[in-house]
Chain A
Amino acid sequence: MLPPQQPAETLRTVVIDPGHGGGDTGARGPSGVEEKDVVMDFARVVGDSLRAQGFTVVMTRIADVDPSLDDRATVANAQKDAIFISLHVGSVGPLGTMRTYTYLYPSAVAPADIPIAGTGAVGGPNARAQVSVPANFVPWREAQKPFLGQSRKLGDLIQLELSQKFKGSPEISWSAPVAVLRSVEAPAVAVEISSVALDPQKLQDLGGDLADAIARAVQAYKSIYPPGGQ
C-alpha cells in the first residue's frame, strides 16, 4: 500500500530506469551485444540531456546490478513531482525504430481510443469490481492506474519526437502490460528500440538522438504537467 501522492506543483525529477542488469542480460544480439549494457549507455546520455534542461535525474541503477521490478518502482515512488522512463532494446521489430509504451491493464480501465500494441485493436471500458481499500491508500499493484491518462500524454509526446528522429517509428505511444510500469505512482512509460541485432556501434550512436528526443518531449510535457494524477 502507498500513501497517495500530494498534488504536484511542477515537474522536477525524471527517474530513468535502465532495464535489466547483473545476471539478467535482457535481449542479446548476434554480435554479443547485451541489452543491459546498451540501455545503461543510453541512460547516461539521456540523463545528461535532462540535467542540462534543469531536471533532477534519478537512476534506478548506476552499476551492472539487477534491482527487482518492485525495487525500481520503489525508487520512483520515493520521488515527489517525478516521471518515470524505462529504457529497453528489443530482440525483434524493424531495425532502428523506437516505440514508447504505456501500461495496459488487462481488464482495461484505459480510454477507448487507446491502441493496443501490435494488435490493431483498441482497449475499451470494462468495469470490474475493485478490491475495497482504505480511501487514502493506493494498492501497490494498482499504483499506475490513476496515472494512465498522464502516462499516455507523456508517451505520445516522447513518441512524436522519436518518430521524427527514427524513421519507421509509430507517431503515437502504444499500450502493453510492461511489468516495470505497473507499480509506479507517477506518469510512467517504457521506450524500446529495435533491436540488438543492429551493429553495436550503430546502436550506441542512436543514444544522442534518443536523448534529444526525450529531453524535448519531457520539456514539452512539463508545461502540461498537472496537479495530482489524472
Chain B
Amino acid sequence: MTRQMQIIVICVMAAALAGLLSLRTLHRRVRQLAPARTTEEQERREVIAPPISTPTDVTTSAQLFWISPAATDQLAPVTVQLPLSADPAQRAKQLINELIANPPTPAQRTLPPGATLLDFYLLPNGQAVADFSDELSTEMPSGILSEWLAVSSIVDTLGVNVPQISELKILVHGHEIETLSGHIDMSDFFDVRPPAPAPALPITK
C-alpha cells in the first residue's frame, strides 16, 4: 500500500469513528428530547390551570373528601391546611385542584390525575358549574362505584368548604356529558350541601 493510500484509509476510518461518535451524541440528544416534551406538557397544563392565589388567601383548615383508607367503597374527610381565597368560586377551584393533585395516597384518589379543572362559575343563586378537561371522563375508571365516588368527592368537598354553593353541574370542555364514564348520570345539577353528621350507613358486613 502506498503511503498515500494509507493516509486515505486512516482518514476514512477517522471519519467513520467521528460519525459513530456523533451518532451516539445525536441519539442521546433525541432521548433527552422525550422528557423535555413531558415538561412542556406540564408547562401547558400550568398555563391552563396555574396555581390560583388571590390577595385574600388565608391558610385555612379544609376538609377534603377522598376514598377512605379503611373502606375502599366510601369517602372519608381529610383535614388539610390550604391557602384558600375568600372568593367562593376561586376557593372552589383551589379545592378541586387540590383534590386532583394531592390525594394522601394513590389508593385514595377519586379523580384522574390527568384531569384539569378548566373553569369554575358560580351564580348568585348558588348554582355552580365546573368545567373539566376530557381526561375527567376518558381516564376515569369505569363503574357505578368509581364514578359516583368521583362525583361525591367533589360535591362533598364543596359542600363542607364553600357554603355559597347549593348545586353543581359538571361539564367537560364546556359540554354536557350523558355519563361520567358509562354509568353515572351527569345531565343534572348535583345537590351540594354539607353532609349530614355521619350516620353509620351504609352497613358493611
Interface set of A (CB-CB < 8 Å, partner B):
19-20, 24, 26-28, 35, 69, 88-94, 97, 99, 101, 105-108, 115-122, 124, 126, 141, 163, 167-172, 174, 176-180, 182, 190, 192, 194-195
Report chain A residues within 8 Å CB of B188: 105-106, 177
With A69-B178, A170-B202, A179-B183 in contact, do A194 and B196 touch (Cβ < 8 Å)? no
Contact assessment for A106 and B191 in the assembled complex, using a CB-CB cutoff below 8 Å: yes
Please tell me if B152 contacts chain A, counting CB pairs below 8 Å: yes
For B156, B191, B195, B199, the residue with the greatest tally of chain A CB atoms inside 10 Å of its CB is B191
A-B contact number at CB 8 A: 141
Interface set of B (CB-CB < 8 Å, partner A):
72-75, 141-146, 148-149, 152, 156, 167, 178-179, 182-191, 195-196, 198-205
With A19-B182, A163-B205, A172-B203 in contact, do A120 and B75 touch (Cβ < 8 Å)? yes
In the complex, which residue of chain A has the Cβ closest to the Cβ of B150?
A: A118
Give the contacting residue for A179; candidates B146, B149, B184, B195; CB below 8 A.
B184
Provide the main secondary structure of the chain A interface. Answer: loop
10 contacts between A and B (CB under 8 A): A92-B143, A92-B149, A115-B202, A118-B75, A118-B145, A118-B148, A119-B75, A170-B203, A170-B205, A194-B143
With A20-B182, A88-B183, A107-B191 in contact, do A122 and B142 touch (Cβ < 8 Å)? no
Contact assessment for A178 and B183 in the assembled complex, using a CB-CB cutoff below 8 Å: yes
